[in-house]
Structure formats: C-alpha cells, structure tokens
Amino acid sequence: MSYQADLARWFAQLHAGTQPLLLPNPWDGGSAKLLVSLGCQALATTSSGFAATLGRLDGAVTRDEALAHACAVAAATDLPLSADLENGFADDPAAVAETVRLAIEAGLVGCSIEDHTGDGAAPIYDFDDSVQRIAAAAEAAHAGRVHLVLTARAENHLHGRDDLDDTIARLRAYGEAGADVLYAPGLTRIEDIRRVVAEVGRPVNVLAYPGAPPVSELATAGVKRVSIGGAFAFAAIDAVARAARELRELGTYGFLERARSGSALAQRAFGGIDPQR
C-alpha cells in the first residue's frame, strides 16, 4: 500500500510539469512493456483497445473484466497506471464509488469516470446526476492512504453535443466535486482548449484526435496531459490487416521487414529471444 501511495503521488506530480504528460494507452501487458522500453513515464488502459482484444466494440466489457485487465497491465510494469473505467459501470453514485474502491484494490493509481450513459437516446447524464456521480467517485478515490488520481470526463463532444459552455460548466463542477484531472475528449480547436484550460481550475487532459493541435501547441495552451485512447491498438490492427491483405491478395511478404523490426523491439522490451531466430 505504501508503494502504491507513493506511485499515486508521483502520478499526480507528473501533471504539474511545464510540458504535458504524454499518456499512451496500452491494450495488454506486452504493449505496456513495449511503451515502458520506449521511455514513457506513465500509462493508461483503453476501454476500446481492450474490448478489441476480445473481439468486441467499446462499451461491451464488464467491470470485472476491465479491472482484471487493468490489474494484468499494472503487473507488467512499475509505471503509474490509470484505468479507463467508462461510466464506472453503473448509473448510481454509490455503485460508481464501489468501482473506484475496487480500482484501488486492483493496484491502480488513477482512473477516469465519464458522464456518458451508454444510452444512444440520452447519451449524457443530467448535470446534477453527473456531479453526484463524480463526487461519490472522488470521495472513494481520496478516502484512504492511496490518493487515486481521478479524471472526470465530459463526453459531450463525442456524442453530438458541441456545447462548449455546458462542457466547461460540467468540468468546473466535476473539479469542485473533487476530480483531480478534467477531460473533454473530442475538442480540437486550440481556442476552445485554451478556454477550457483557463476556466476549469484543474489539470486538463486532451485526447489526440483527428484535427487536434500538436503537443507543442497544447503545451503553450497550458494542457497538462495528452492521451491517445485506442489509437495505438487500432494502428496495430491496421498493420495486421495490411499484412494479411498483402499475403492474401499479392502473395508477397513485404510485411516481414516490419515484422523483423517489431521482433527486435519486442526482444529489447521483453528481455527474451528473437522468435524469428
């Protein structure tokens, strides 16, 4: 518990630098070890990337599965690990708090809770309900010796609600309710991001998203963390699909050169023997 508490404090401190914390999202223990070998300072799970490893779409993973997955990724590295816990896998604030408590028991030092309901007809929780859910999560996150770094997510811009005023109001309320980091995935205009940073009063995470500004611009805007969601996992899926199409449609093996490079990276990251030898 003492080590976990120290790791949580370090994770919190990584949000206080002059440059954004770059927080990549592994999808299994191997990808976590690879990212460690490439010099990453902290990691976070990806709900969509993990779901893809099970042949499912995002939102189709249970709480038990997500926590077991996060525990396995945490065991693969000594770096701080935060977990994408979707909406806490519950509507009720008490159940969301229980999810956070279980995250601490699983050895995590951070987690995110979003205000997306999972219901396409009403995708965002009502304002007051959303705040109560984050308040319950924050109480659980900060009640014990491990001060779990809680990220509160306002999901408006991923679900067709491009209302920046509402997003900022939600983020400010989530911060006042106890969230440590605030996050509105889907924002891409630098002027909107600057406004969020200026008005919410907590470290802000920005998602690497099509059209989003580069890290250098985000740093100038005061962003404290940049994450990538499932992007690396799906980039890997794309690479496999390209290789399979080449083999099936052309009957050639150009992918072997990339495989050789990947094997060398794995050998260095995992400390094993190159499987192509």
- Please, what is the Cα angle at 145 between 224 and 91, to 5 degrees? 70
Helical H segments across 177-254, by residue range: 190-200, 215-221, 231-245
- The DSSP code sequence of 4-41 is HHHHHHHHHHGGGSSS-EEE---SSHHHHHHHHHTT-S
Q: Where are the domains of the chain?
A: 2-229, 230-277
CATH match of 2-229 with 3.40.50.2000: no
Residues of the chain whose pLDDT is less than 70? 1, 272-277
Whole-number pLDDT of residue 272: 61
CA distance 159 to 19: 29
Q: What is the pTM of this model?
A: 0.95
- pLDDT the model gives residue 277: 47
pLDDT digits (tens, 9 = 90+) for 82-140: 999 999 999 999 999 999 999 999 999 999 999 999 999 999 999 999 999 999 999 99
